[in-house]
Chain A
């Protein structure tokens, strides 16, 4: 069984975001693999360790810096990596999904495991769009993944608003990873060194025959308004009248 794991290089979760020149300032800022993608990679590796999967291919779409993230995936235990070079342009979910479809058609994985969303855009769209483009079943917000004994179906427990839902999908299928699916391992020093020898292929969207250009334009990026001080009130009556003033009661 072959597993495809798309990974995205994002601004590190601990970084304090600043807006400069109408965009999020990403120069000299620490970047890392999207945390949900790490969980996806970890899940793929666990399936391989359980001898259910035989090969893990990590793919990243973005500038050459995306290769850093691919190396992390290789150091965690992925077997091969693929970089789709889109230069410095912004990659939006539909474009990514179309590129991933082309890769799926080419590489023929049995499972695609993605993070549920990226922490920079919080889109939560790519996995779902990919399933739609491929016509494959999707199990999103996975908190538990179990392959059926015959390896033809996958049972996934999903975290939904009302609680937990268990779905069964025929393979091939799309799974998106939620926070509680697993706790990703650290890469080890020996694996970091071995990762250098693992294959890392580089392609462009043109090589895949995908020339889709996104139709979305970002109009405005701004920081949230600075927290203003609160107002002290002298009595309960004043509190009630102020709340009424603001239309809150």
Chain B
């Protein structure tokens, strides 16, 4: 699981005047900053279902999972039962067969309840999609049903201790030995490491650079596969791990191409998780500002607070439009999808993080006590500016596309 450093731990449980609100109840906010504006009937139903699940199954546990570092497998399986395990895989082997926009709506709604759990669910979905899109008939037949129900959970391994943004320089090798590949190396920052059953690993089968990379499936329990401690770098180590050639997903040497295709969607998914967390943080800030009084006035009576809330609403609305635009671009097969997704990810993750930071400020001292959710939302959103492509790499992608013309 993503490691979660805490801010200041409260020395005592604050019996504050106001109870922390994890489940938003106001309507005025949702009609102004409306996550469902412009959606079709089916899209609204999908969003409502995910939101309902988030309110009932995720929000009440968000804080506890953060404090214990628990990886909530049982809850994710419940989500999978509703079809959230393979949202945009084809229906051929049991996937739900929905669009990238539908997936964005689902992750946005779920992350109003718990951001890291939703972010991991989106990674599992990406693994399923890659197998479904590029894997052989046998691999799809074997794995898609299991991944759909989350009988087996999938993790994605590309980053290494020495290769993050420079992903093509990755060094984990896979050498042919008859009908097997022998894998040696290590991967780092792997969400789900140790708990996941199936690992989609990018390995070097050929020469240097992107064209030498192949994607291969490795199951937990394979001899030579080991995992580092959860609180530390979440490392997956391969020592002479033998996998059959039939575990190669797609063609040898095409692994990097598949990875890049997968990342467009992954970026929209992570940006969607930022949207949900930000929506909850904004709701909490609005509620707090209406209740807390100083100088005989509720905070919402001061123009500075009003302006801040208005700006937060603008940030969230603009981010949401960019993310959904990017999702639609993938669905439409747009040639500029990569740049569109990069813009959306950079913008939304940065603006939504800023929104959460502002939400903490509005809460004042209570904002950094763990009784209140806003601190956790900010921490949870911070990593979105880094994983699945840093904000800097996003800028590289966009600039390259602009200057191409």
Contacts and interface: CB of A to CB of B under 8 A. Distances in A.
A188 B30 contact: no
A187 B49 contact: yes
B27 A30 contact: yes
Contacts of A16: 25-27
Nearest to B85: A189
Contacts of B97: 193
A71 B48 CA distance: 13
Interface of A: 14-16, 28-30, 32, 68, 71-72, 75, 186-190, 192-193, 196
A189 B98 contact: yes
A-B pairs, top 10 by smallest CB distance, nearest first, are A189-B83, A28-B31, A188-B82, A189-B96, A188-B83, A14-B25, A192-B45, A15-B27, A29-B27, A190-B83
B138 interface: no
B393 interface: no
B93 to A, nearest CB: 13
B42 A186 contact: no
Interface in B81-100: 81-84, 87, 96-98
Nearest to B44: A68
Given A15-B27, A189-B82, 11 more contacts: A14-B23, A30-B27, A68-B41, A186-B52, A186-B82, A187-B45, A187-B49, A188-B82, A189-B87, A192-B45, A196-B42
22 contacts: A14-B25, A16-B25, A28-B31, A29-B27, A30-B27, A68-B41, A68-B45, A186-B49, A186-B52, A186-B53, A186-B82, A187-B45, A188-B81, A188-B83, A189-B84, A189-B87, A190-B83, A192-B46, A193-B42, A193-B96, A193-B97, A196-B42
B379 to A, nearest CB: 27
Contacts of B96: 189-190, 193
Q: Which of B25, B52, B83, B84 has the most CB of A within 10 A?
A: B83
A192 B49 contact: yes
A38 to B, nearest CB: 11
Interface in B24-82: 25-27, 30-31, 41-42, 44-46, 48-49, 52-53, 81-82
B128 to A, nearest CB: 14
A32 B42 CA distance: 15
Given A15-B27, A16-B25, A16-B27, A192 B42 contact: yes
B218 to A, nearest CB: 29
Interface of B: 23, 25-27, 30-31, 41-42, 44-46, 48-49, 52-53, 81-84, 87, 96-98
Contact of A28 (B26, B27, B48): B27
Given A189-B98, A190-B83, A30 B30 contact: yes
A23 to B, nearest CB: 16
A32 B27 CA distance: 14
A189 B46 contact: yes
A29 B30 CA distance: 9
Nearest to B53: A186
B81 to A, nearest CB: 7
Contact of A71 (B23, B41, B53): B41
A186 B46 CA distance: 11
A16 B29 CA distance: 12
Contacts of A68: 41, 44-45
A75 B26 contact: no
B296 to A, nearest CB: 15
B50 to A, nearest CB: 9
A191 to B, nearest CB: 8
B49 A15 contact: no
Contacts of B53: 186
Contacts of A28: 27, 31
Contacts of A29: 27, 31
Nearest to A189: B83
Contacts of A187: 45, 49, 82
Contacts of A15: 25, 27
A187 B87 CA distance: 15
Contacts of B52: 186
B76 to A, nearest CB: 14
Contacts of A196: 42
A197 to B, nearest CB: 12
Nearest to B102: A189
A200 B223 CA distance: 56
Contacts of A188: 81-83
B58 to A, nearest CB: 13
A72 B53 CA distance: 15
Nearest to B94: A190
**Most B Cβ at <10 Å: residue of A15, A28, A188, A192:** A192
Contacts of A32: 48
A178 to B, nearest CB: 20
B106 to A, nearest CB: 8
Contacts of A190: 83, 96
Nearest to B82: A188
Contacts of B81: 188
Contacts of B49: 186-187, 189, 192
A196 B31 CA distance: 27
B22 to A, nearest CB: 13
A187 B51 CA distance: 12
